[in-house]
Structure 1
Amino acid sequence: MSKITQVLATGKTRTTGTDAAVFSGNHEGKLDIHLTAPGNNAVRVHHFNAIEAHPTAEQLFAGAWSACYSAAVGLTAKQLKVALPADTTVEIEVDLGLGGHEYFIQARLTLFAPGIDREVALKIAHGADAICPYSKATKGNIDVVLNVVTD
């Protein structure tokens, strides 16, 4: 897999909540998109950080991935019988960049689960990564870094 040596643009989304609650996003708020997970009537509001007034492909990809991954976080937590805090948040950043003379994307997924034991949060993050179709589609195709923040 080729590495990005120069980042040209970054699309970032922040999705809060992982179950039937309403989801809210970051403070930038250039664009709000309401998405739901399959079989879930919950509304997810994604706020995109944008340099321009319209979303980039990287922001749209991050937003769709965020909706899917957030649902997977909720499902994984339920399977592990862990109650997630109301302020659980998923942040996804997708970079467009150059590696030599070719274009690539890479991503960073961060699960914010305040008050959850770090090892439990890591199990949830990795479990969600294992079942999320977007994570499966990118596995081995792009560089992805998975992080957890529990404070």
Structure 2
Amino acid sequence: MAILTSAATAKGGRNGHVRSSDDVIQLDLAMPGSGQSTEGKSNPEQLFAAGYASCFDGALNLMAKNAKKDISSETTAHVSLEKDPEDNGFKISAKLEVKISGVSQEEAEELVGKAHDFCPYSKATRGNIEVALSVTAE
């Protein structure tokens, strides 16, 4: 049973427009390197990065709460579009850069590992795309 279902519709592909069903998201899209201006426009990788960063940071804070750790965190997801030499097409990869204050480096790494096991985006990408983790305790 679904807890939440969100919907968005894209028209025109990478050089088109995307809109969420509730109209909260309404963005023009532009393919970098297409010759089209990208100013004020988004792309699928940016949208995926926003979703992954927010979901992962939420999972991290839940893991900290469960461990009775009082933290402050910031997660930046870098999502890259790359050439895929296997089929001459494209693939994506991700790097999660996580900064945590309130715990040691060892505790921060442990919490990030638990968040990576728990986060729905991490579960969805596991075994499908390369995801690198960078953890800094501040």
**Range into which the TM-score falls when normalised by the shorter chain:** 0.5 to 0.7
List alignment gaps of at least 5 residues for structure 2.
1-31, 33-37
- Residues in 2 aligned to 1:67 and 1:89: alpha-carbon distance in whole angstroms: 9
1:138 lines up with 2:116 in the alignment: no
In the alignment, which residue of structure 2 is the partner of 1:110?
Answer: 97
Percent of matched pairs sharing the same residue: 34
- Residues in 1 aligned to 2:64 and 2:120: alpha-carbon distance in whole angstroms: 17
Relative to its length, the structure with more helix (as a share) is: 2
Q: Aligned-pair distance for 1:56?
A: 0.8
In the alignment, which residue of structure 1 is the partner of 2:77?
Answer: 92
Equivalent residue runs for 1:1-151 within 5 Å? 52-85=39-72, 88-100=73-85, 101-151=88-138
1:103-129: CA deviations, max 9, x gaps? 000000011013520110011111111
Please report the RMSD computed on the Cα atoms of aligned residues, expressed in angstroms: 1.6
- Residues in 1 aligned to 2:126 and 2:39: alpha-carbon distance in whole angstroms: 30
Please report the TM-score for the alignment, with normalisation by the length of structure 2: 0.68
Aligned residue pair count? 100
- Give 3-state SS (helix, strand or coil) of 1:53's partner: coil
List alignment gaps of at least 5 residues for structure 1.
1-49
Structure with the bigger RCO (C-alpha within 8 Å, sep 6+) is 1
1:1-52: CA deviations, max 9, x gaps? xxxxxxxxxxxxxxxxxxxxxxxxxxxxxxxxxxxxxxxxxxxxxxxxx963
